[in-house]
Amino acid sequence: MKPRFVSAVLAAVALATGLVTSRAAEAQEIQLTGPLKGAPAVRQERLYRKGRFEIAPAASFSLLDEYRRTILAGGRLTYNILDWLGIGVWGGFGAASITTDLTDRIDQAGGAPRDPLTAVNVNHLNNPSGGFAPFAAQAAKLTYVAAPQLTFVPFRGKLAIFNKIFVDTDFYASGGVAFVGVDERGNCGAPDQLKCSNPNSFKLTSTSKVTWTAGFGLTFYPANFFSLGVEYRLLPFAWNRAGFDSKGSGTNGNFPDGRIDGQDEEYVFNQLVTVSLGFYLPTKPKLSE
Amino acid sequence: MKQARRWLLLAAALTLLAQPAYAQKKKPKGGTKGAAPTQEGAPAPAGAAPAGAAPVPVDADAEPAPAGAPPPAGADTGAAGAGAAEPGGAAEGGMDVCQITPDAPQCQAAKEFNLAVEAQKPIHAEIYAVQQQYVIKSGRFELQPYFEITLNDQFVSHDAPGLALNYYITQVLAVGLNGNWYQGLNADSDFNFQNRREARIAAPLNEYQASGDLNFTYVPMYGKFAGFGDFIFHYDAYIDGGVGFIRTRPIPVIDPDNRKFDWNTLINFDVGIGLRIFFNRWLAAVFEIRDLIFFDKIERLTIANGTGSNSATSPSTWYDPDTHFTNDVQMQIGLALFLPTSFEYRLPK
């Protein structure tokens, strides 16, 4: 008991000392009086956005992809009605589509077996050059995105780097409706459709989805007429990324039903990181009062 | 060991006793306590108190000089000479500011200084883009509770609560510890099961128990934002890195009937970049991206069919012979509490 008592006393002393010495927090708060009272927070602020068009070529990279990564080449076109509000469009097309390690492993020796258990889900067609039809040929991919959107810019400031480099910066959030082009495995298995074990049923077909998109980002202004930007964006929609028959029968439809259809699509919060280079017209920003 | 634990607690208590963290260099001896120090080569600010006067408040330039305080050495306290400006600029015509706000600092100062003489003095002003950092961190502790989510593992998410404790040796450099507890929050994605069922192929999965790191933090960036053009808040950005441990084990998916893995303690390195947004001078929101880098042990994709030490039940056959370079990229969201909660500036703003 004695060592525990001593330990408890010491712990209490440590805690009490910490609490006692951490009082008097508000001693340095600044109360503005005199001529500055009621003055705007920032004077002569460079209004990088108000009344200007932004043309920003951009590259977007998808995150957390199971079977295929996409790089979208595109951009953002925005007219900034106010310094904190803009309207425009963001989009791009799938410039590159890179398979993941898992996709490669399905095709490798010792990968997915081609037997009756997988006949509906993996193409058993023999390649003339050896092996089977590549799994990548049935993995879905993004082909384009176009999203009319509003952009809000609640925060505006500057960044000091090593006390030597100073960059005007703003934080923005944007959101809107997105039209997404997807190539994914077509429907099969219904009475009037191909059987899902038919090699031709593994071909990708183009579809369009309508969803919402939202993101936030930082814009850095090294000069009056151009900026650098980085943005994180959500693009949620349902799609069948592997072309598998996963759902449609059994309890809660959680078992395969031998068909590929909308029930096999899964709603996913697709994530993208975008980097951009923005150019502004007119090239010279206005100043606030 | 019991003795050592008590001594450690005593040491912690004594360390905390010395806490009022004056985040500036010691004031020179000689009775100048509370006097406003001035920049080398620069004239004393208007209203600056002489030696022995009251301490300089943070908004010293808005405060009048104490009544009866003598002027700084060299200042002409007599009546303004020929050509001296009227207080508030009335000599230039227009409205005299001092008639409207006689308490304004420049009006008080003008009674005691010959502004014409003062104006002739050389000024070596040093203007900073961000004047007087909002928060002094040097000599203070930062306690950082946070929650992190996985950004780059589509197979198993390793979310965890965490706690960090940093001590700022200088305004820009800190040393500290942080730890995460993952066990119970590892989440195996549905798509792993679907992939195994539909394609008959399994991806090896790992779960984490805990991690801890010794970190150094460097704060090269700071600044301020105007919110909706109306209010101003301050922030800084930092990078950190260190070394520590992480405990992981495979989730058996290849041969779950035979394999049952124990936790492995592995060395990890971590690097991160973070942003702190200050609500006041001791509380901030923290966003950080951190990468835990380590060589993980994963489950072997094949099942041994021999006997003895080469059988499916022998643990020596359960692991892949190679370790795998792993990046666990995490996004952390939390709070930063700076202790002690108060501090003093060395210079007036």
Q: Can you tell me the mean pLDDT for A7-13? A: 60
Asked if A24 and B6 come within 8 Å (Cβ–Cβ), the reply is no
Q: Provide the percentage of residues in chain B whose pLDDT is more than 70.
A: 62
Mutate: best of A6, A19, A23, A28, partner B, most B CBs <10 A: A28
Q: Which among A31, A111, A161 has the least Cβ separation from residue B221?
A: A161
The pLDDT tens digits for B30-41 are: 443 333 333 333
pLDDT band at A159 (very low <50, low <70, confident <90, very high): confident
Q: Which among A23, A117, A154 has the least Cβ separation from residue B200?
A: A117
Asked if B58 and A28 come within 8 Å (Cβ–Cβ), the reply is yes
Asked if A242 and B9 come within 8 Å (Cβ–Cβ), the reply is no
pLDDT given for residue A198 in this prediction = 92
Which residue of B lies nearest to A264 if distances are taken between CA atoms? B194
- What gap in Å lies between CA B243 and CA B294, rounded to an integer? 10
Helix pair angle (A2-21, B2-17), 10° resolution: 20
- Lowest mean pLDDT of A20-24, B149-153, B288-292, B338-342, name the range: A20-24
- What gap in Å lies between CA B33 and CA B29, rounded to an integer? 8
pLDDT given for residue A107 in this prediction = 83
Which residue of B lies nearest to A34 if distances are taken between CA atoms? B104
The pLDDT tens digits for A56-110 are: 999 999 998 999 999 999 999 999 999 899 999 999 999 999 999 889 888 886 6
- A84: which chain B residues are within 8 Å (Cβ-Cβ)? 228-229
Q: Can you tell me the mean pLDDT for A260-284? A: 94
Residue A3 has pLDDT above 80, yes or no: no
Burial of B257 (0-12, 13-18, 19+ CB in 10 A): exposed
Asked if A25 and B281 come within 8 Å (Cβ–Cβ), the reply is yes
Q: Which among B16, B190, B197 has the least Cβ separation from residue A21?
A: B16
What DSSP string describes A122-173?
S--PBPTTSSB--GGGTS-EEEEEEEEEEEEEEEEEEEEETTTEEEEEEEEE
DSSP B119: H
What DSSP string describes A252-265?
GG-EE-S-BSGGG-
Interchain contact A256–B (C-beta under 8 A): yes
pLDDT band at A16 (very low <50, low <70, confident <90, very high): low
Residue A249 has pLDDT above 60, yes or no: yes
Q: Chain B, 309-338: which have a CB under 8 Å from a chain A CB?
A: none
Instruction: Compute the nearest-CA separation of A69 from chain B (Å).
Output: 12
Structure token pair of residue B53? 């006067």
The pLDDT tens digits for B186-222 are: 999 888 888 889 888 888 999 999 999 999 999 998 8
Query: B16, B336 in Cβ contact below 8 A?
Result: no
Structure token pair of residue A79? 């007219």
pLDDT given for residue B259 in this prediction = 94
Asked if B223 and A158 come within 8 Å (Cβ–Cβ), the reply is yes
Q: Can you tell me the mean pLDDT for A228-241? A: 96
The 3 state secondary structure assigned to B252-296 is CCCCCCCCCCCCEEEEEEEEEEEEEEECCCCEEEEEEEEEEEEEE
Size of interface A-B (CB pairs under 8 A): 168
- Across chain B, what does the average pLDDT equal? 76
Interchain contact A31–B (C-beta under 8 A): yes
- What gap in Å lies between CA A234 and CA A251, rounded to an integer? 31
- Helix or strand (DSSP H, E) at A100: none
Q: Can you tell me the mean pLDDT for B147-159? A: 92
Q: Chain A, 208-247: which have a CB under 8 Å from a chain B CB?
A: 242, 244-246
Q: Provide the percentage of residues in chain B whose pLDDT is more than 90.
A: 44
Which residue of A lies nearest to B101 if distances are taken between CA atoms? A34
Q: Which residues touch B220 (CB under 8 Å, ≥6 apart)?
A: A161, A162, B172, B237, B238, B239
Peptide bond into A154 cis (omega under 30): no
Residue B284 has pLDDT above 80, yes or no: yes
pLDDT given for residue B206 in this prediction = 95
Q: Rounded to an integer, what is the distance from CA A77 to the centroid of its chain?
A: 18
How many CB atoms sit inside 10 A of residue A87's CB?
A: 15
Asked if B201 and A32 come within 8 Å (Cβ–Cβ), the reply is no
> Which residue stretches of B169-242 are H helix?
190-199
Whether pTM exceeds 0.80: no
Structure token pair of residue A263? 């029930």
How many CB atoms sit inside 10 A of residue B117's CB?
A: 15
Interchain contact A161–B (C-beta under 8 A): yes
ipTM of this complex prediction, to 2 decimal places: 0.72
The pLDDT tens digits for A200-228 are: 999 999 999 999 999 999 999 999 999 99
pLDDT band at A176 (very low <50, low <70, confident <90, very high): very high
Q: Which residues touch B265 (CB under 8 Å, ≥6 apart)?
A: B245, B246, B247
Query: A140, A68 in Cβ contact below 8 A?
Result: yes
Domain segments of chain B: what residues? Answer: 141-339
Q: How far is CA B47 from CA B63, B99, B119, B131, B348, in A?
A: 7, 19, 15, 19, 11
CA dihedral sign, ordered A248, A254, A257, A260: positive
How many CB atoms sit inside 10 A of residue B169's CB?
A: 14
pLDDT given for residue B43 in this prediction = 38
Structure token pair of residue B140? 């203070």
- Lowest mean pLDDT of A67-71, A176-180, B74-78, B138-142, name the range: B74-78
Say which residue, A128 or B268, is predicted with more confidence. B268
- Lowest mean pLDDT of A103-112, A258-267, B97-106, B323-332, name the range: B97-106
pLDDT band at B58 (very low <50, low <70, confident <90, very high): very low
Pairing mode, strands A226-239 and A204-221: antiparallel
Say which residue, A255 or B40, is predicted with more confidence. A255
Q: Can you tell me the mean pLDDT for B332-348? A: 84
Query: A84, A153 in Cβ contact below 8 A?
Result: yes
Q: Closest by alpha carbon to A175, among A152, A144, A146?
A: A152
- Lowest mean pLDDT of B97-106, B234-243, B300-309, name the range: B97-106
* Strand ranges (E), A191-265: 204-221, 226-239, 248-249, 255-256
Which backbone phi and psi does B219 adopt, to 5 degrees? -115, 85
Asked if B101 and A35 come within 8 Å (Cβ–Cβ), the reply is yes
The pLDDT tens digits for B260-270 are: 999 999 999 99
| Angle (CA) B40 B42 B43, round 5° | 130
Q: Can you tell me the mean pLDDT for B302-328? A: 92
- Lowest mean pLDDT of A50-54, B111-115, B224-228, B326-330, name the range: B111-115
pLDDT given for residue B36 in this prediction = 37
Say which residue, A31 or B199, is predicted with more confidence. B199
Domain B141-339 indexed as CATH 2.40.160.20: yes
- What gap in Å lies between CA B245 and CA B176, rounded to an integer? 15
- What gap in Å lies between CA A80 and CA A66, rounded to an integer? 37
- What gap in Å lies between CA A91 and CA B93, rounded to an integer? 59
Q: Provide the percentage of residues in chain A whose pLDDT is more than 70.
A: 85
Interchain contact B4–A (C-beta under 8 A): no
CATH number for A49-287: choose from 1.10.357.10, 3.90.1150.10, 2.40.160.20, 1.10.3720.10. Answer: 2.40.160.20
- What gap in Å lies between CA A111 and CA A102, rounded to an integer? 10
pLDDT band at B127 (very low <50, low <70, confident <90, very high): low
